Structure 1
């Protein structure tokens, strides 16, 4: 049974997201340590791995422009939403936005579990050879990160084929891998989306000059955790764990940020409906 989406229900769900945002203002000890050894990482990382990392810039740039090769399979996500909510015809991404929040959440959690397991398998596979297979892990993990966020975007009724939605995805990726100051700054930027500002498109696109920061912060996540993955065989364990936790963090970020947008839009629609009835 789907819970009726009353104003009180939506506001309660929004308060859960607000509390989550406040929790993001602190860093775990693991993350603090993980940001320390980058000079050492530069010294011990072979040039062919550094080239792989530098290619992330091109990958992210391509994604913003065209979506690259990471576009979500819309039909798969829409079918899952249809199963969860058979009373609503879910045939397009726009129609997905009419699905109750509870159904969206269920599908989103399924996306998180599925992609986390895939990330763990991929991390274990590339961890077998240690240093020599780490180069393959980096771009593949970025691709899975982008695809995870695109799947979640479709789940909440937002089309990643739209360029400004891909910018929102990049900002979500950046949020998931940023420090305290970075998270606060990104939330301020995303307020344009949350408030459904009419100036959103122009202002967000003007911020593209800073998208390269995504790669810098994304690389920070590798830190000493990826150094451990350079050990052959043992790297399987570290690779599986770090990749799984990274995708879980990214999926949680996408879940909360997209859910917040959808809730605010639903609250706006309810307010507009009440105003029309009053008039």
Structure 2
């Protein structure tokens, strides 16, 4: 008996959660472990805590900035083109998944190309412009997450969704099954709370505090590893464009899989 569209989607999501990133990324991560160990041992704990707090505030600010560019009507017009009549984002939580999926995937290319152009421009400037590249890239990717979340009926530009957005973002940056499983667990918590009309605030206050303490630094570290090649003279343009394009596609894929999971689980719990 053939699977329904939603059954096939569930299996696809489960395979994605269990899978790890590309082989080259695993090799690179293992090569960087001595550096990570040295940083943990040499740098003072209070300095790392201050860095974590600063990065968390930085990501929160970028999340808010990205939300300013969010356009609800743009998303609603996109879903209307595929036959989904909705006058507000929340109404999309009950829309057929097979109608929403193509709309969500359509946002991948737009943002990936924008990120590639931005990466090419900053890649020409070596270290100086590479520093400016990261907040721009993060802003583009956070906007992509917000738009994909909206397609499935969730206003994740709201501050209460930051733990979920950070978990999705880190799943893309880390590219590991552990990061994907952590994000999937956060999706389950969000679905359970939203289905019974409660406010989503992360698993617990302690979890949110713990996540905000460590996850932002891990996210930045994972991306920084990839972007080291952008500092190579003359190669920076190509490397910057390529890495930004791939990273944004991976962010889109992570958001796509996890918001589909949230959509399905929320409907199943209602």
On whether the aligned pair clears a TM of 0.5, the verdict is yes
Within the candidate set 117, 123, 130, 2:119 is matched to: 123
Gaps of 5+ in 1: 1-6, 43-51, 270-279
1:141 aligns with 2:131: no
Name 2:216's counterpart in structure 1. Answer: 215
1:181 aligns with 2:178: yes
Correspondences of 1:111-260 after superposition (within 5 Å): 111-178=107-174, 179-196=176-193, 201=200, 204-206=203-205, 207-209=207-209, 210-260=211-261
TM-score by length of 1: 0.77
Render the CA deviation track for 1:179-238: whole Å, top value 9, x for unaligned: 443433443343212444757735535122122433222223334532210123310100
Name 1:276's counterpart in structure 2. Answer: none
Correspondences of 1:94-113 after superposition (within 5 Å): 94-113=90-109
Report which of the two has the higher share of helix.
Answer: 2
CA distance in 2 between partners of 1:78 and 1:202 (Å): 26
Name 2:28's counterpart in structure 1. Answer: 34
Structure label with greater radius of gyration: 1
TM-score by length of 2: 0.80
CA distance in 1 between partners of 2:102 and 2:32 (Å): 39
Could you say if the C-alpha distance between residues 11 and 226 of structure 1 is closer, same or farther in structure 2, counting changes exceeding 3 Å? same
Gaps of 5+ in 2: 40-50
Render the CA deviation track for 1:65-104: whole Å, top value 9, x for unaligned: xx5111122111111111111xx43221112223321221
- Following TM superposition, by how much is the alpha carbon of 1:268 offset from its aligned partner in structure 2, in angstroms? 4.1
Could you say if the C-alpha distance between residues 268 and 18 of structure 1 is closer, same or farther in structure 2, counting changes exceeding 3 Å? same
CA distance in 2 between partners of 1:31 and 1:130 (Å): 23
CA distance in 1 between partners of 2:251 and 2:90 (Å): 24
CA distance in 2 between partners of 1:100 and 1:137 (Å): 37
- Following TM superposition, by how much is the alpha carbon of 1:53 offset from its aligned partner in structure 2, in angstroms? 10
- Following TM superposition, by how much is the alpha carbon of 1:260 offset from its aligned partner in structure 2, in angstroms? 1.1
- Aligned-pair RMSD on alpha carbons? 2.8
When the two structures are aligned, how many residues end up with a matched partner? 247
Dislocated runs of 4+, deviation >6 Å? none
Name 1:79's counterpart in structure 2. Answer: 77
Correspondences of 1:11-22 after superposition (within 5 Å): 11-22=7-18
